Structure 1
Amino acid sequence: MDKKPTILVTGVSGQVGYELLRSLQGLGRVIGLDRAALDLADLGCVRDVVRATKPAIIVNPAAYTAVDKAESDEAMARRLNAEAPRVLAEEAARCGATLIHYSTDYVFDGTKDAPYSEDDATNPQNVYGATKLEGEQAITASGCSHLILRTSWVYGRRGKNFLLTMLKLGTERPELRIVADQIGAPTWSRTIADATSHIVAQGLAAHDAAWWAQRSGIYHFTASGSTSWYGFAQAIFASALGELAPKAVPIPASDYPVPAKRPANSRLALGKLNQTFGLSMPAWDDALRLCLSE
């Protein structure tokens, strides 16, 4: 590997991709591409870009993430979440690159009473989760060196996410009804990017393709701790709106019908990540306060 490896990052206008551009600086020659430069729906374009850039590492946060819309737009969700990752993986295998790809808690059905481990049986309950699982399986089958990082409840200061929705609605309405019987770990996009950069730095310091191959696999990759959407909203209001916060009313998910079924339990166990890379992920509420302090 040369002294300045090329790191190709997709989806850099998205909330995770934007943060990755910042976090990966200094680790190599970072090439960040948005949808205009790399349309993942165009599989031929995906192949051409990887072959032209010859990356040592491909980091792929780009995805079809409109969970409810995916129920009626299955073909495009599959193209972006399964077929594009398959092509990235095939091209990574072809040029000896490592693929770092992000997946989701939605590959599980949410019926387990404890946090899910990487080895637990998957059983997605919606199109988004099913297509993300297909992407995982395609990457694993490709034979490339890969890290599949399953995260959950991603938020940040840009894009569309629960944090920004709550900040907007919290100033517009005196009362908000928020689901209280779905549990997970809200995860700041910067937490994802910074933890990824720590792993990339370890891999580059090893100067050894076998390092990546030995660690290839699926890792759970969220903030630590857990809360409900209701608890998440309360924490947002307490940190950001104070006395101006609306009244938050806890409701069951059954009172808020949406096209895509969500898992009741989205908690992911982080032991494998810690043991393999020595990473301790921050508590979700600490990260939220940091995000809101900016």
Structure 2
Amino acid sequence: MTHDQPAQPALRVQGIQKSFQDLQVLRGVDLDVEAGSIVALLGSNGAGKTTLVRILSTLLKADAGTATVHGHDVAARPGAVRESISLTGQFAAVDEILTGRENLVLVARLRHLKDPGAVADELLARFSLTEAGGRRAATYSGGMRRRLDIAMSLVGDPPIVFLDEPTNGLDPQARIDVWKGVKKLAESGTTVLLTTQYLDEAEQLADRIAILHEGTIIQDGTLAELEALLPPAQVEYVEKQPTLEDVFLSLVGTSARKES
């Protein structure tokens, strides 16, 4: 799959602010996401991750700042933004009465695509669900439902996908299965913005990691760049390299532990 990408970043966020009554959730967020990359937006519960995604997907209006998605301003051209994205929320939105294949065919028909059956079969194969395609989604495991949910979000080949806490509540094996599906997205050229509070998930998936804390991005870089923020490993009996958890807790301090 290939997408016609604008020369500028796939996502550009500049000075985004958002408050709910007296609660200021976003305090001036700046973030660029390059086309074809996976960027993890990492933060504790309540850090503002979902709020930012809702703004980028035109479900909320920012109080201040600007954002462009696939070259389209989210405030001025919300329709064009919605045509360029797909959003997968924290809970799988599959119809449990339908089979996996029927779920995909339904979405393809709603998007007026040619040959919905072929679209469904290709996505079932891509997410290793072909054998389960004829079963009702109610019989699927949590990981299979989430993979089907992500597959449904890809009907029509959107160039940009937002994944909001995609493995929330899943068991370890199901999480690994979802990770494989997300990696396939990037391999196919899709731009992925992934929100997560799981440090190992960001380590496994992201090309770059942006740490959102108290409404702002406090660090943004590759895993190696973030690890370099900590002092070199001390050699005693064994060498202990800093983990992303070490970096995260060092940057956000004890407040992250209290929030979690």
Q: TM-score, normalised by structure 2?
A: 0.34
Structure with greater strand percent: 2
Provide the TM-score with structure 1 as the length reference.
0.31
